[in-house]
Amino acid sequence: METTTTTFELDKTFPGIVMADTRSGYEGYLIPSDQLLKVCADLKNKHGYDLLSSVTGVDYLSEGKMEVVYHAFKSSGGPALVFKCQIERVDPMEMPSVTSIWPGADFQEREIWDLYGIKFTGHPDLRRILMWEGFEGHPMRKDWKEAFYEEEKKPLKSRWPQGNHKYAETKTPYGDNVRFDAGFDPEKWVPTDPEEALYTALKKFKTEVKDGIQTDHIIVNMGPQHPSTHGVFRAVALLNGEEILSLKPVLGYLHRNHEKIGERNTYIQNIPYTDRLDYFNSMYNAWAYSLAVEKLLGLEVPERAEYIRVIMGELSRIQNHLILFGMLWNDLGAYFTPALYAFEERELILDIFESVSGSRMMCNYHRFGGVVRDVNPMNMQKIKDLAFDRLPRKVEEFDKLLSENEIFVSRMKGVGYLSPEDAIGYSVTGPTLRAAGIPYDIRRVNPYGIYDRFDFDIPVRHNSDLLDRYLVRVEEIRQSIRILQQALNTIPEGPIITGKPSYQIKVPAGEAYGRIEHPKGELGFYVVSDGSANPYRYHIRTPSFVNITSLEKMCVGTKIADFVTILGMIDIVLGELDR
């Protein structure tokens, strides 16, 4: 259950520099910003904290402080090391960037700059990432208000008892939440070019003379409307002929500031919202969020609920990987045959989700301290039919259909290489990391729930190319079926939730980080509570967002056509990439 207790004592290792965080309910250490780089370098090089999982900001408005929270892990396993760096909340706020130590902090620091306005000195490419260049303000700050702002927190007072319905468009979108500089004249305002910084960030456009012929490097935009990007994702590549010289992903087309919405919501209202992050795996999102809040509440989950969570989770993992295979083949030109074969099994799994939770994709099934509804014997039989009979059969059929296909193998073998050191450095988790030879699976290295009871293997391969990432996932499906079979054989009867669920719970003040092994990698929820009914800070460390940091590294040197496959294999979902 405990995933973030620290046995390694940072304040004793760096006496006089590092202080323990003594606020009630908080854990970890406070590092002054001028010593941050020194301590971090030591942490990575001497103490083995090589995987910086999550970096995020918190705005303590009333205390006049901005805080950046780091969660570092060892790739060999074990609990988190939480450390924080606080600065005065006076613009301009500056803090050293840790990208030189952990390159995986790249996008996460850009996100903090974008949403909180903390400048990271030494960051190689500090631009906005989710909002567009030229956006005014930093939306996650506590004093920033969105359009149609009504109240700081839900439930809104206008809904009851005098809830006369009003359409949003009849209201003024902006009230006192818009500020203009003195002397601002809209007539004379010239917008800055939002793309300029992006193209400057790619290597400078240059002309070469090769064999007496003048050659140009060209810039190619893939997306945001491109069938291979699985949504509104855009990548800008600088090409030399067909070869990629440098590549920058452009995100945020589906950005809705999920975290801001989450901080306006009450705790329970966030559960249906988490379903919309990675909409293929809503069972996992709510699980990770529940883990974090349960840690704050100190709730125990009943046995049967733990088993149900595992069963639903592993079913979800199987269908996620099946979709990936199907869509990958679609990208590679096999059109829809494998995709529809994959969808057939997925349909059967979604039928179970629908029957159990009420919805095929937006399950809204987990609650704090259990699950919302029991699985009745009819559904249990359906799951058993799948786990013991149909899925093992179909996985082998899928394997036969795809794995040895020569065209497929030649497109995948040796493409998109990422060295194990880079994979850890870029904070890559999930199947991509395991294909690089590192057996890092949170279910095993830092077990949550009841995963320590099951007998299963962590599939690992060592070539770290696309083929290996594919084969690791095939093996993962087989292991998921194994876990399913064990769970179905041993599931006990009993209650499915601790206590009576309430629509407004008060959560004790403190912070918690709940993380699980999502099919795409590590999914973490960082929740800070101030003791009220709404979370003070609600951050999601999504696997898609962090894994995409390594995209440029994997793509440089390959052909532009391989970009499609490499991106497909990272397995991104735009709902959680852009949040």
Partner 1 sequence: MYGKGLLKGLSVTFNRFFQSYLEDIRWLVKKYPKVEFRSSKDTRGTFTVEYPEQSVIIPEEFRFVPFLVYDEGEHGEKNIRCTSCGICAKACPPQCIWIVRSTDPETGRPVPQPAEFYIDFDICMNCGLCAEFCPFDAIKMDHDYEISSYTRNLADKERLMKPASYYESIRPENFKREETAREAKAAAKAAAKA
Interface residue list for partner 1 (CB under 8 A):
154-156, 158-165, 167, 265, 268-273, 275, 337, 340-341, 344, 347-348, 351, 354-359, 362, 364, 372-373, 382, 385-386, 389-390, 397, 400-409, 501-504
CB of 374 to partner 1, least distance (A): 11
Cα separations in angstroms, 556 against 101, 220, 415: 21, 14, 11
CB of 404 to partner 1, least distance (A): 3
Q: Are 549 and 106 in contact (CB under 8 A)?
A: yes
CB of 207 to partner 1, least distance (A): 43
CB of 442 to partner 1, least distance (A): 27
- Contacts of residue 217, defined as CB under 8 A and 6 or more positions apart, other chains included, come to 203, 205, 206, 207, 208, 238, 239, 240, 245
Chain centroid, CA 66 distance in Å? 23
How many Å apart are CA 352 and CA 359, to the nearest integer? Answer: 9
Nearer to partner 1, 41 or 340 (CB): 340
Three-class secondary structure of residue 510 per DSSP: strand
CB of 272 to partner 1, least distance (A): 4
Nearer to partner 1, 200 or 337 (CB): 337
How many Å apart are CA 256 and CA 29, to the nearest integer? Answer: 32
Nearer to partner 1, 46 or 165 (CB): 165
Kindly compute the dihedral angle of the four CA atoms of residues 399, 402, 404, 406, in this order, to the nearest 10 degrees: 180
Tokens found for residue 278? 């990675």
Nearer to partner 1, 401 or 488 (CB): 401
How many Å apart are CA 460 and CA 479, to the nearest integer? Answer: 12
The identity of residue 525, as a single letter, is: F
CB of 478 to partner 1, least distance (A): 18
CB of 126 to partner 1, least distance (A): 34
Three-class secondary structure of residue 190 per DSSP: coil
How many Å apart are CA 226 and CA 243, to the nearest integer? Answer: 20
Tokens found for residue 502? 């309430």
Nearer to partner 1, 161 or 333 (CB): 161
Nearer to partner 1, 280 or 451 (CB): 280
Three-class secondary structure of residue 573 per DSSP: coil
CB of 344 to partner 1, least distance (A): 5
Nearer to partner 1, 131 or 362 (CB): 362
Cα separations in angstroms, 174 against 148, 262, 275, 363: 6, 21, 29, 34
Strands 118-121 and 93-96: parallel
Nearer to partner 1, 159 or 206 (CB): 159
